[in-house]
Amino acid sequence: MGDWAGHTGKAKTWFESLRDQICAEFESIEREAGSDAGFEYTPWTREEDGNDDPGGGVQGLMKGKVFEKVGVNVSTVRGRFSEQFADQVNGASAEHPDFTATGISLVAHMRNPHVPAVHMNTRFLTTQSAWFGGGADLNPPIPYDEDTQEFHAVMRAACAAHNPTYYEKYKKWAEDYFYIPHRQVHRGVGGIFYDHLECDDDPSFDRNFAFTKDVGKAFLDIYPKLVRKRMGSDFSDADVAKQLEYRGRYTEFNLVYDRGTIFGLKTGGNIDAILMSLPPRATWS
């Protein structure tokens, strides 16, 4: 198949719908905590020389009583990779640099150190190939085995509904990907990470799209439950110190190794939206 515009449109519509559902749920949590905080939405347009339709996106950002900083971004961009970057992307090359990309990206940093931070991203890209990728991973400054097990159980169920091999494969992929080599530690307690779910025709697009939607639904099911369970916990200065130290490690990963950060910077994305994943405060010692 050569023309994926309609499929990109379907994916975009879903990512925007998921964004709306997630933001509404997070604002509900703020209301439960006695806060009137809400998301502020900032549209942005991508620029590319010689491209009359480069696309753009909307950055959603909230700073509240429970969510110290949470960003939920949706973007849909199209254009050409640079000659130097094209060979690093699935299905692209210097001779075939055209691409489209649509996706949702979410990172939440919490005020209470006992509430886990979280990352979720799902996306659909086209070059000479077309594929889905994404996942969700839990990043607690103070881990609780119960929370880790609950998060993984929901992701396992989402995977099992589509392929019995997905969970173990994508869990291992997350463990390998969200690792900080220079620190020799993992960024968090994992989740799932997948990429290059290739779409060769309409049936394969439908299958991979259904799985990607279920990953988003699984996140929407489990993460608010974990927030509500922990957001009223008492915490000490020592707990905050652990949180800020952990955020330093999180920052190092995102700036040095994260593919999404690199992709956004290499394709002329919005700088504020790309770097919304960074925590509002962090320490290094």
Give the residue numbers marked as catalytic.
119
Sheet containing 117-126, strands listed edge to edge, beginning at the edge strand earlier in sequence = 40-45, 55-62, 67-80, 98-110, 117-126, 130-139, 190-198
Contact (CB, 8 A) for 100 and 4: yes
Exposure of 155 by Cβ count < 10 A (0-12 exposed, 13-18 middle, 19+ buried)? buried
Q: Tokens in use for 238?
A: 């020592």
